[in-house]
Each structure stands twice: as C-alpha cells, then as structure tokens.
Amino acid sequence: MNTSFERCENTKVEWLTPPNLVLKLGEFDLDPCSPIDAPFLHANNNFTTIDDGLSKEWFGRVYLNPPYGRGMELWIEKLKNHGNGIALIFARTETKCFFEHIWNDADALLFVKGRIRFYHVTGVQAGTPGAPSVFIAYGRENALALKNSGIDGRYLDLKL
C-alpha cells in the first residue's frame, strides 16, 4: 500500500503524536526529537534538529517518536541503552530493529487498536497512515504506565 502518509515519510515530513495519547502516558522529562515549530510539546525538555537529539546525552523519562526511515533504529537503540522511556513506531515486528532492540530488550508493548492519526507541524491532523503503531516501554515503570494508560489496544509484557 502506498498511502500519502508513507510517501511523506520518505520526504521526512514531520508526523507528530496526538497530544491526548502522550498525556495518557504521564509526564516526560525529554523528547529528543521534537519539531522546531512545534504546535504542542510532549515533554518538559525538547531537542530539535538544531540540537541533533541523537548526539545529545538523554536524561530522565524519555518520550520518543523518532524520525522515520533509515536511521530510525539508532534512536530506538539509544532509548534501549538509556533504559527509561516509551517509544512509538510502526508495528513492523519482523524488522531487524525489532529483533535487535525490542523483542529481547523492551519491557512491554502496547499494540494500538486502529490507526493513529498523526498531526502535521501546522497543528492539523493528518489522514490515516498505512501501518499500525506500537508503543514500546523500556523500564518497569514505563511498562506499568503503558498497561494503565487506557489507550485502546493489546498490552504485551515481555518480561513476565
């Protein structure tokens, strides 16, 4: 399927998490990849492309919806090593990224029911993406936050 969402991924258009979803996960100390002209923020501290959030030291509880496309796994690997946070990516469970950084390392997953309608930097909500999404928790407190979030989907604890 080649939806407009996927086409835009390749051109690195920004796709922002609906704020109501992040609010359900609690307070975050850092979003390491936030838009420069963000219509809303998900964390108390935010790195943008100007900072290059991937090269920075991460701190506290991290919310990560990484830039999609090639290189995305570097952000997931960094969150895995940081050990405290929640990521949101497409649920492409067969990929190298999943096998190298998620299946054996994350604490829990929440497969989202239906498709998340992300936002453009303009603050306008986009159409339906071409793939389902999954939240990934690193750290037991983040697993608990996913479990108790009330976000509609299927929770899977990977460390039980």
Ligand X SMILES: C[S@@+](CC[C@H](N)C(=O)[O-])C[C@H]1O[C@@H](n2cnc3c(N)ncnc32)[C@H](O)[C@@H]1O
Nearest approach in angstroms of CB 159 to ligand X is: 25
Kindly report the CA angle at 97 between 95 and 102, in degrees rounded to 5? 110
Q: Is 17 in the site for ligand X (CB under 6 A)?
A: yes
> Least distance in Å: CB of 83 to ligand X?
19
Contact segment (CB under 6 A) with ligand X among 14-22, 93-101, 134-142, 145-153 equals: 14-22
Q: Which residue has the tokens 């390392």?
A: 105
78 vs 101 by CB, closer to ligand X: 78
Closer by beta carbon to ligand X, 77 or else 157: 77
- Residue matched to tokens 């100007």: 50
Residue 16, exposed/middle/buried by CB under 10 A (0-12, 13-18, 19+)?
Answer: buried
The interface mask with ligand X, positions 23-42, x = CB under 6 A, is --------x-xxx------x
Which residues between 43 and 82 bind ligand X (CB under 6 A)?
A: 47-49, 52-54, 65, 67-68
Q: Give bridge partners of residue 153 from the DSSP assignment.
A: 112
Element containing residue 74 per DSSP (H, E): helix 72-82
The residue among 159, 125, 128, 127 whose CA lies nearest residue 142 is 159
Where does this chain bind ligand X (CB under 6 A)?
14-17, 31, 33-35, 42, 47-49, 52-54, 65, 67-68
